[in-house]
Amino acid sequence: MDIPRIFNITESAHRIHNPITAEKLATLGAALRLESGTRVLDLGSGSGEMLCTWARDYGIIGTGIDMSQLFSEQAKRRAVELGVAEQVKFIHDDATGYVSDEKVDVAACVGATWIGGEVAGTIELLARSLRTGGLILIGEPYWRQLPPTEEVAKGCLAGSISDFLMLPELLVSFGRLGYDVVEMVLADQDGWDRYEAAKWLTMRRWLEANPNDELAKEVRAQLTSEPERYAAYTREYLGWGVFALMPR
Ligand code: SAH
């Protein structure tokens, strides 16, 4: 079981597979007033940077589940590297329908909301693992500027304009689902650069090491077209944030 191989290639050198930076992850941990011993569940935990650094900096105890074998291995290595292997556990699995045996204080899905079939379903799924009074974290894109045409939305790799909301509407939508938004940390364009531009050097080096790979043509095409596409569309139109929610 794994995610499509192209992501394991283009994001192999990423510690964070989202436009949030290490600094902003720390800001988020501080904003949530995490205490030592806080139990955190993370669906789609990627290479584990959020859980590992929060374990180091705030003493949390965490479980992450991710479908990428490579990212899950990287997460385990990162936990050892940061000296928190006793505090965090990473499971290589499909997180669809995952509910923890023990209730957690923080239930997160940061940039992988398709796991629950979009935002509403993911919130519902996370709520099943959450103790009363706990926090749900959702990482999700929104439109920084509304795309003037469907073509621009597609340039952002969205299926259509209706895939995402503007920030005020996204915040209202959490209310409609019965949740208060109690904190948020938003990515910025520099953070998008760290996520997107970091793929280019990875792709270039991968191509040099794997010229005859079956994906070499696809990676070559992406490396050629991505800088312009990203600068013209995603960087201008797409916002991204992590939203902390509590049921009303
Ligand atoms: N939250 C992490 C990773 C976000 S990228 C971070 O911010 O760094 C999305 C992640 O979801 C990837 O790591 C991918 O492997 C994982 N993923 C995709 N589908 C999944 C599924 N069905 N179950 C578990 N993880 C999944």
Which pLDDT score is estimated for 205?
Answer: 98
Dist. CA 34–CA 214, nearest whole Å: 45
Which pLDDT score is estimated for 185?
Answer: 98
> Which residue ranges have their beta carbon within 6 Å of ligand 1?
3, 16-18, 44-46, 49, 65-68, 71, 94-96, 110-112, 115
At position 7, the amino acid (one-letter code) is F
Q: 186-224: per-residue pLDDT in tens?
A: 999 999 999 999 999 999 999 999 999 999 999 999 999
Which pLDDT score is estimated for 59?
Answer: 98
**Paired sense of beta strands 39-43 and 61-66, if any:** parallel
Which pLDDT score is estimated for 193?
Answer: 98
**Sole residue written with tokens 């009363």:** 132
Helix (H, G, I), strand (E, B) or coil at 104: strand
What are residue 130's phi and psi, to 5 degrees?
-95, 135
Dist. CA 21–CA 19, nearest whole Å: 6
**Sole residue written with tokens 């205490």:** 35
Which residues have a Cβ under 8 Å from the Cβ of 205 and sit 6 or more positions away?
Answer: none
Closest ligand 1 atom, residue 110 Cα: 1
Closest ligand 1 atom, residue 98 Cα: 23
Please count the residues of the chain. 248
Average pLDDT value for the chain = 98
At position 229, the amino acid (one-letter code) is R
Q: Within 13 Å, how many C-alpha atoms sit on residue 4's CB side?
A: 5
Instruction: Tell me if 244 sits within 8 A of 183, measured CB to CB.
Output: yes
246 Rama class: left (phi>0) / alpha (psi -120 to 50) / beta: beta
What are residue 90's phi and psi, to 5 degrees?
-120, 130
**Cα(113) to centroid of ligand 1, in Å?**
9
Which residues have a Cβ under 8 Å from the Cβ of 180 and sit 6 or more positions away?
Answer: 174, 245, 246, 247, 248
Taking 50 as the pLDDT cut, the residues of the chain under it are none
